[in-house]
Amino acid sequence: MKKTLLSILIITFLSSCTNDAQFVSPIHPIPTQEQIDWHKLETYAFIHFGLNTYNDLEWGYGDTPASTFNPTSLDCEQWVATLKNCGMKGVILTAKHHDGFCLWQTKTTDYSIANSPYKNGRGDMVKELSDACKKHGLKFGLYLSPWDRNNACYAYDDYVETYHKQIDELTSNYGDLFEFWFDGANGGNGYYGGANETRSIDAKKYYDYERARDTIINRHHNAMIFGGTCQTIRWVGNEQGWAGDTDWCMINPELHQDRHTYLTYGDENGTQWIPAEVDVSIRPGWFYHKREDHLVKSLSQLTDIYYRSVGHNANLLLNFPINLDGKIPTQDSIRAMEWYEVISNDFKDNLLKDAKINVDNERCRKFKAENVIDDDWDTYWATENDYNFGTISFSFDKPVKMNRLILQEYIPLGQRVKDFYMEGELDGKWFKINAFDTLSTIGYKRIVRFNTVELDKLIIYFEESRGPLCINNIEAYCAPVLLSEPIISRNYDNLVRIENSDKNAAVYYTLNGSDPDENSFRYDKPFVFNKKGVVKAISYDPISKKKSEVAIKEFDIPHDYFEVKNPTDGFKKLFDGNNNVAMYLNMNDSIKIVFNNEETISGFRYMPSQSRDASRHIVDYEIYIDGKLINSGAFGNIKNNPIEQIVRFEGVKGKTICFVPKTNTDNARNCGMAEFSVITD
């Protein structure tokens, strides 16, 4: 009798997991296996190196001589060892940037490494880096700019054939590729074999990206394609290092052209699985500039980038500019490894491993709640078909402290969760856990940050989903304190404000160039600083005894020392310290500054508006001193990377400086300027 009853129970249990309950239908679109493998990489590196490096440029015009490319102690193994030590899973090399200079032994152009002094013209940067990656176990990818400002045939049919021959060379001779990058910068002014003119193309049709895709995928089945018309991953819509706190892996490729916000947040109703990749540089620029040696991103900045990229369901492509010697600069290497240590320590001890789990709905034992903590990526907790919502709770034997939560969906079945929130319980009292970001999508990975809370029970409410829940991993941590450096600004009345985001930390500052500590001036309220100089500040936590990195702000000569003659409307916005508010100036008008006394003028700073949807950034400009043209140039890549532009030139004595904007990023009749100052010796 007992045996018969046991058999009935077993049969009943098995039948419950052999009917429709054992299947979870996918919600389309879903990723390919190659895209899933790409998601799991999470972080990898970009390398920008070439003629721009040796000519102090971001976007070369295409006319700098190949002979200027001459690294003296280039070491690709140093690059790869550094990247591996900071957790990178691969590296993508800019084999050709917009200037058209090729870093491999190509048969398509003379504008290449073959006509440089490097290794007497026999060097091949693509091969050297590919070999180093194979040796050290990193994946290898390539960037090949479609735009070529050197090629005389650009914008004509002959160049398209040249470009495809370059793709053929790069996909044939350098081993497996995990990603191929097509940049979105296409057409404009250039050298073009000496024509020195502006050329326009229709990027969607001109390059024949469909043929390029076939060439790449036929030889590298697992390769992701970034950009073009056949992309399998997408640009995130900015180069500042963040994906949206809502980030769907899906978009409709027909809708995303030049719609940066669409790319940043994705589309719940998108027709294709095209997840976001966040590309950002460890320095302000993509190529190496000695003047940026002190501007390597801080630990807190890099850590925030990680949480807003990988933690927002996107992969992180972190750029490392190579210096004139041919190496990743020491300070960049050290910073990247420190950053990797911070991230590793943030996720050191998973608090949920021994927690008791309870859910309000479970499809069957195959999809049990315990699957979320079993370290098996291919198992998951799923709810019944009619449950597009659910709750899961974790109980602890004694109170724990936490400030991080990792959630992952089983994306082979599609991205589902649309809205969720968290609560904690301590001694029978419930409280809401307030995250730093809006809690909406999850996708491959979502990392939630919040202020440290103590609790003996955690509950997660999944409020809305595109279908039954499929959660394959949940983890919780208590990350160590990492203080952010303060933000220093000066307004029109020359009042310096120092803002601090860490509520438990005090701020200390100096005015004499020395690094501050807890014995320096303590900041309590804004103070007057009506001269040229440097303000440095730190955040300091008296409880943990930890301090932030030093924030440094260089202030140029204040407006008390000059008059702004033109324009007259809104010019105070240029000196108010608010980077989100812009003054708009008609193209070819000028900002005319007349100093009270003759000054030695040696440069300027221009800050484009930092508001999220800012546009009309200045590209080309001219500088006149006492009526004489002293300097002209262009801010390369300012549309996608609208950071502060600092231009220096040999000092010129004078009383009047005119800054004339010539073109802007949107071909509009006026341009935006958030801040402007003159550098004097």
Assessment of whether the complete model's pTM goes beyond 0.85: yes
User: Cα 656 to the chain's mean position, in Å?
Assistant: 39
Please state the length of the chain: 681
Average per-residue pLDDT in the chain?
94
Find all residues with CB under 8 Å of 569, minimum gap 6, and list them: none
* Positive/negative CA dihedral, 74, 77, 82, 88: positive
Find all residues with CB under 8 Å of 196, minimum gap 6, and list them: 189, 190
Work out whether strand 90-96 and strand 139-144 pair parallel, antiparallel, or are unpaired.
Answer: parallel
What domains, with CATH codes, occur in the chain?
A: 45-345 (3.20.20.80), 356-477 (2.60.120.260), 487-555 (2.60.40.10), 559-680 (2.60.120.260)
State pLDDT tens for residues 43-66: 999 999 999 999 999 999 999 999
pLDDT of residue 258: 56
How many CA atoms, within 13 angstroms, populate the side-chain half-sphere of residue 584? 7
User: Mean per-residue pLDDT for 105-131?
Assistant: 98
> Kind and range of the H or E element at 300?
helix 299-309
* Span of 20-24, 208-212, 298-302, 567-571 with lowest mean pLDDT: 20-24
State pLDDT tens for residues 483-530: 999 999 999 999 999 999 887 899 999 999 999 999 999 999 999 999
- Gap between the Cα atoms of 373 and 298, Å rounded: 33
Is the Cβ–Cβ distance between 643 and 605 less than 8 Å? no
Long-range own/partner contacts, residues 221-224 (CB < 8 A, 24 or more apart): 221/34, 222/34, 222/37, 222/176, 222/178, 223/34, 223/141, 223/177, 223/178, 223/179, 223/180, 224/34, 224/35, 224/38, 224/178, 224/179, 224/180
Centre a 10 Å sphere on the Cβ of residue 525 and count the other Cβ atoms it contains.
Answer: 7
Nearest to 274 by CA among 226, 334, 339, 220: 226
pLDDT at 16 exceeding the cut of 80: no
Is the Cβ–Cβ distance between 89 and 138 less than 8 Å? yes
Is the bond leading into 29 cis (omega within 30 degrees of zero)?
Answer: yes
User: Mean per-residue pLDDT for 632-650?
Assistant: 93
pLDDT at 139 exceeding the cut of 60: yes
493's tokens: 């009345």
pLDDT at 15 exceeding the cut of 50: no
pLDDT at 21 exceeding the cut of 70: no
pLDDT of residue 6: 41
Across-strand partners of 84? none
- Gap between the Cα atoms of 109 and 116, Å rounded: 13
22's tokens: 């054992």
> Kind and range of the H or E element at 133?
helix 125-136
How many CA atoms, within 13 angstroms, populate the side-chain half-sphere of residue 531? 5
3-state secondary structure of 560: helix
State pLDDT tens for residues 427-439: 999 999 999 999 9
Distances 57 to 54, 65, 296, 317, 676 between C-alpha atoms, Å:
8, 13, 18, 21, 21
Find all residues with CB under 8 Å of 299, minimum gap 6, and list them: 335, 338, 339, 342, 482, 549
- Structure confidence at residue 12 as a pLDDT band (50, 70, 90): very low
State pLDDT tens for residues 325-336: 999 999 999 999
pLDDT: is 538 or 12 the higher one?
538
> Kind and range of the H or E element at 14?
helix 2-16
State pLDDT tens for residues 235-261: 999 999 999 999 999 999 887 655 778
- Gap between the Cα atoms of 161 and 158, Å rounded: 5
DSSP code string of 430-473: EEEE-BSS-----TT-EEEEEEEEEEEEEEEEEEEESSS-EEEE
pLDDT at 570 exceeding the cut of 90: no
Nearest to 88 by CA among 37, 138, 32: 138
pLDDT at 2 exceeding the cut of 60: no
Find all residues with CB under 8 Å of 78, minimum gap 6, and list them: 327, 328
3-state secondary structure of 273: strand
State pLDDT tens for residues 294-307: 999 999 999 999 99
How many CA atoms, within 13 angstroms, populate the side-chain half-sphere of residue 477? 18
- Structure confidence at residue 543 as a pLDDT band (50, 70, 90): confident
- Gap between the Cα atoms of 278 and 55, Å rounded: 27
Greatest alpha-carbon pair distance for the chain in Å reads 108
